[in-house]
Amino acid sequence: MPELDLETLRSLARLGVHFSVPLNSPMTGLDYFATPEELVVLAENREEFEAHAHGLTIEQYREWTGSEWSVRCVAITKAGSRCQNFAKGGFNVPAKEWLTRYGEKCVNHGG
């Protein structure tokens, strides 16, 4: 992808142009209005842009998307691995809810 011209993007923004970017999310139609500087990040690293737009670190974003956008139980099973069950009501949640509910347990582990 050719390098984005930041000054051109800034000029467009001053004219009232808005840059709406659809985000990966369990909700359909979730758009983020990006700044010219954020568009440059988008062009260079989509994952970093998505994490920032959702208010997460890249590591948090990877865990959230890797868990089907859901709050997974944090308990450790008898076998020594992390439980794969969802916390009650924690399936397909927005990033901010996922972040506030991180650390919950499933009903089998006292949640």
Domain coverage including residue 89: 57-111
| 4 and 40 in a common domain | yes
- CB-based contact 54:31 (threshold 8 Å): no
| 82 and 45 in a common domain | no
How many structural domains compose the chain? 2
For residues 19 and 27, give the distance between their C-alpha atoms in angstroms, rounded to a whole number: 20
pLDDT band at residue 4, thresholds of 50, 70 and 90?
A: confident
| 64 and 38 in a common domain | no
Q: Is the per-residue pLDDT at 61 higher than 70?
A: yes
Q: Is the per-residue pLDDT at 10 higher than 90?
A: yes
Q: What is the mean pLDDT of the chain?
A: 93
- Please tell me whether residue 33 adopts helix, strand or coil conformation: strand
Q: Which two tokens stand for residue 16?
A: 């009232």
Q: Is the per-residue pLDDT at 111 higher than 80?
A: no
The model carries a pTM of: 0.85
Nearest residue to 45 via CA among 32, 58, 56: 58
pLDDT tens digit sequence for 69-79: 999 999 999 99
